[in-house]
Amino acid sequence: MKLLTIVGARPQFVKAAVVSRALSKINNIEELIVHTGQHHDANMSDVFFEEMEIPKPAFNLGIHGLGHGAMTGQMLIGLEELYKDQKPDRVLVYGDTNSTLAGALTAAKMHIPVAHIEAGLRSFNMKMPEEINRILTDRISDLLFCPTQTAIDNLSKEGYPFAGTKVLLSGDVMQDAALYYAQTSASKSNIIDKLKLKDFVLCTLHRAENTDDLSRLKSIIDTLSEINNTIPVVLPLHPRTRKIVMDAGMKLPFTVIDPVGYFDMIEMLKHCSLVMTDSGGLQKEAFFFGKHCITLRDETEWVELVQGGFNKLAGADYSNILTSFEEMCNKKSDFNVNLYGGGKATDNIVNELLSTF
């Protein structure tokens, strides 16, 4: 049986790594990885396949640097030709990017079954492109692998399961990846020594809701600058965000580095004092490594982290972020709670996929 896995962005490489490794051990499944090209920078793409010891993509569409419409449209064209040629029995998509939607939509129109890993997440903010992508992908997938009970509940409120669909609580493959790669990250990364890091705040910033709104972006950067006076802030900066900051003439008086590979990120998570991010995945990764997180957004899909006190929503307001920083710096929490499947998600997903062939 032939399975095409569609990836295009950093979080998808991480998720696909653990599932693809498990699939490679099954004789009667041929998995081919398709990279849309959405993240084309070597530090955000090629390095992940090398570091994580998974096969290089069988196909790379090389589609990047375009607006949402053009990017998704080009992906639809490229994937349609690829599906016609490869004739997959199933398509597997991850998360909520343009690559996710294009992979699922092309398959659905060609009557190819679609499995969506990380289904059921909702921010309830329709201004987020990711929210649109995940809602549409869920609706046209026949297998919905939900990482949390909250995701199951979200789908239930929307009327799922519909005829021909199956909703499963799989757990989160991101936790599987974190547990697996944390065992070897120290031997594959020297970033802590290289940057001479001790106590520091790890920050990432890339969401369009922050980077495309200069008032929000300035407020966040001003707050990070203030926090940097108390504890060093380290910001691996997304290329798109870097360009916006430079074009706006904003100063970054803290440590700014290029995007890092997955093992570097794990080591930074292990050693940091606090995480501040507008990323969805990093909120969970902070939890996996026992670190509190401040989310620089007005909402989050990972509500169980907020409810458990592991995560604090601060938005982009200067005062809110500073108050959250003071609270989370002094907070003590028990991270030994099973919110994401305890490392069993990959087995659950692969077993279900096998049963559909």
Three-class DSSP labels, 226-268: HHHCCCCEEEECCHHHHHHHHHCCCCCCCEEECCCCHHHHHHH
Which residues lie closer than 8 Å to 238 by C-beta, 6 or more apart? Answer: 204, 205, 206, 259
Q: In Å, how far are 147, 163, 211, 295, 321 from 273, measured between CA atoms?
A: 26, 47, 25, 15, 16
* Catalytic annotation, pick one of 39, 116, 206, 238: 206
Give the domain ranges of the chain: 2-172+341-356, 191-329
pLDDT at 32: 96
Which residues lie closer than 8 Å to 27 by C-beta, 6 or more apart? Answer: none
Q: Exposed (0-12), middle (13-18) or buried (19+): which is 218, by Cβ within 10 Å?
A: middle
Among 42, 25, 33, 37, which residue's Cα sits nearest to residue 2? Answer: 33
Q: In Å, how far are 211, 222, 254, 286 from 227, measured between CA atoms?
A: 19, 9, 9, 19
Please state which CATH class domain 191-329 belongs to: alpha beta
Q: In which residue are the tokens 């396949």 written?
A: 49
Residue ranges of E strands in 139-200: 143-146, 166-169
pLDDT at 41: 60
Q: Exposed (0-12), middle (13-18) or buried (19+): which is 33, by Cβ within 10 Å?
A: buried
Instruction: Classify residue 278 by its DSSP letter.
Output: S
Q: Do domains 2-172+341-356 and 191-329 have the same CATH topology?
A: yes
Alpha carbons 274 and 222: distance in angstroms, whole number: 18
pLDDT at 215: 97
pLDDT at 46: 62
Q: Is 34 left (phi over 0), alpha (psi -120 to 50) or beta?
A: beta
On whether the CB atoms of residues 58 and 276 are closer than 8 A, the answer is no
206 is catalytic: yes
pLDDT at 205: 95
CATH number for domain 2-172+341-356, candidates 3.40.50.2000, 3.30.70.1140, 3.30.1370.100, 2.40.30.10: 3.40.50.2000
pLDDT tens-place values along the chain, 357 residues long:
999 999 998 789 889 999 999 999 998 899 999 999 886 665 545 666 777 777 789 999 989 888 889 999 999 999 999 999 999 999 999 999 999 999 999 999 999 999 999 999 999 999 889 999 999 999 999 999 999 999 999 999 999 999 999 999 999 999 999 999 999 999 999 999 999 999 999 999 988 899 999 999 999 999 999 999 999 999 999 888 999 999 999 999 999 999 898 899 999 999 999 999 999 899 999 999 999 999 999 999 999 999 999 999 999 999 999 999 999 998 999 999 999 999 999 999 999 999 987
pLDDT at 163: 94
